[in-house]
Amino acid sequence: MAGNAPQGLLSIDGIDSYASVSFTFNTGVAPSVCNVVAPIIDQKIPHVSDLTLQFDRTKIVFPDCSVVSANYSRRQGGNLWNIQIFDRRWRWRFGEISGWYNTQLPNGDIQDGREETPRELMTLLLKAMGEQQISVATVPNTERPEVAWESANPAAELQRLCDLLKCRVVLKLDDSVAVVPIGPGAEIPNNLPLIDTANPFRHAVRPDRIKLVGGPTLFQQALDLVPVGLDVDGTIKLIDKLSYKPAAGWTPASDILKFGQITGTFVDPVDGKEKEKRSLAVQSVFRWYQVDVDTVDQLFGGTFEKLSRIAPIRSTLLQNREGADGTLTPKPAIITGTFWPGDTTPAADAQQDVGPDAPYEEGFSIDAVNCVVKFGRPVTKFDGTLPTLKLTTSFQLFEDDGSTIRMTKAQNQPGNRRHTKDMIIRRDDLFHRAIDGIWKPELNRQVDKQADAALADAARQFALEGAEDVQAAGIHKLDLDGAIQQITWTIGGGGAFTRISRAWNHNQQMGAADRNAVAARQVARDRGEN
């Protein structure tokens, strides 16, 4: 009778006999691995072939598998081949997708025509991966994650979305692909011929609190400008503190912009040449305006004393503008105030200033490090007096020690305190924004959701609820899902077995998270990224 007992069988082109088979099936975008030890193989074994596991009337077919390596080893008792075979997810390493979706406006709304639900995004990605049988019906669908795909790998982007939304990619045994939330799922069948069962646990080395540290907080603000100039020592100073300031001061006279009253020479500290002091005035006075540090003090409190607390400033706003081709780019910084627009506008004919919040529509550049706006012409009022100017731009804030003020969120962990330091998660892609000194919740709503998801994902590694690990005799056909996360089928001299883990990885080295991270790094290497 023993000779008639069902046997576990492996079938794949090029391998006719084998000593052992171990196939660990995982969730995620990385291919699962079947390891075969065989005494002999066909040297012309196909690179791509269907793999079949069979036991009695149970038959599981894995189409389009790839034999990725075969290493020969000498062992006591005989020489053997160690063969590694990937399931069909090896193809997901390739492909591309482009598109910008859920682009957020400054008020927190999503730009018209660019809203896609998580299920719609995942469907786009799965189709770009070549999948036709798709199920995303149970994916949480309330969030609107912002994505910017530029010839991106679809599988890697799908895994990022799954990490954000706490979902898993599942290759079903009917060859379809599903994305399911982590947690809900089937129970392990109670009619299996179990030979071993356990409720695994681990005492996690967990912190008392998990803290997410995001990217630098970006502020957008209208900042007062004060007139400055370039001095003979190469430094930038307020015009009233310039060493070559005229004795009568910067009097409002029609010829003042010629600076004829400035005499004398100096040695340029950059090129060592002797030059006229007047050249410095022509270059910079009434053309260069610097952010007023006192304004920064008033806006953010405290005594900043130096502009290095906000420098380097940016030359763009936090809002975007859409080009003719639909591409979004940040809006440029703007200058407003009360000033004479010069002889290029009708207002000049009436010899009138514009203001008090008139936009300056001619070109200018920004010296980001010194927080200086440089105009292409002198900017004054019509009577030659100083204008009132504001620069609206974006910038970061720095602490006295040079560190950046960043978005942070923290989550206390349940259970007794262990008096640990915080566990830090760095997410530079998540940052808060504030406009005109107003902290609007809707402006950062999506970022906060993503931060909460990242904290929950980090905390999950320390929680182990409902874990179950069983081993049954024979080969059994069972799908992975949000709860059942790993199955290993083995065939060898001792028989055929199926090991099933629920809310647990029995093979920690083959866990989906680590394997998906490796897959992502491989995609980055393929794209030439570091």
What is the average pLDDT value for the chain, to the nearest integer? 85
The string of pLDDT tens digits covering residues 267-293 is: 999 899 999 999 999 999 999 999 998
Among candidate residues 70, 64, 71, the one with its CA nearest the CA of residue 31: 64
Whether residue 147 contacts residue 100, with contact meaning beta carbons closer than 8 Å, is answered with yes
3-state secondary structure of 244: coil
For 272, phi and psi rounded to 5 degrees? 75, 10
Ranges 61-75, 174-188, 200-214, 361-375: which has the least confidence: 200-214
Q: In sequence order, what are the residues at sequence separation of 6 or more whose Cβ sits closer than 8 angstroms to the Cβ of residue 75?
A: none
Q: In sequence order, what are the residues at sequence separation of 6 or more whose Cβ sits closer than 8 angstroms to the Cβ of residue 77?
A: none
Selected residue with higher pLDDT from 86 and 403: 86
Q: Tell whether the model's pLDDT for residue 131 goes beyond 90.
A: yes
Q: How confident is the model at residue 178 (pLDDT cuts 50, 70, 90)?
A: very high
The string of pLDDT tens digits covering residues 40-73 is: 776 677 889 999 999 999 999 999 999 999 888 7
The string of pLDDT tens digits covering residues 79-112 is: 788 999 999 999 999 999 999 998 876 555 677 7
| Range ranked top by mean pLDDT from 76-85, 404-413, 503-512 | 404-413
Among candidate residues 438, 223, 217, the one with its CA nearest the CA of residue 333: 223
List, as one string, the DSSP characters of 80-123: EEEEEEE-GGGGGGS--EEEEESPBPTTSPBPTT----HHHHHH
Total count of residues recorded for the chain: 530
- On the question of a cis peptide bond just before residue 312, with omega within 30 degrees of 0, the verdict is yes
User: What is the Cα gyration radius of the chain?
Assistant: 33
Q: How confident is the model at residue 465 (pLDDT cuts 50, 70, 90)?
A: low
Rounded Cα–Cα distance for residues 484 and 466 (Å): 11
* pTM greater than 0.85: no
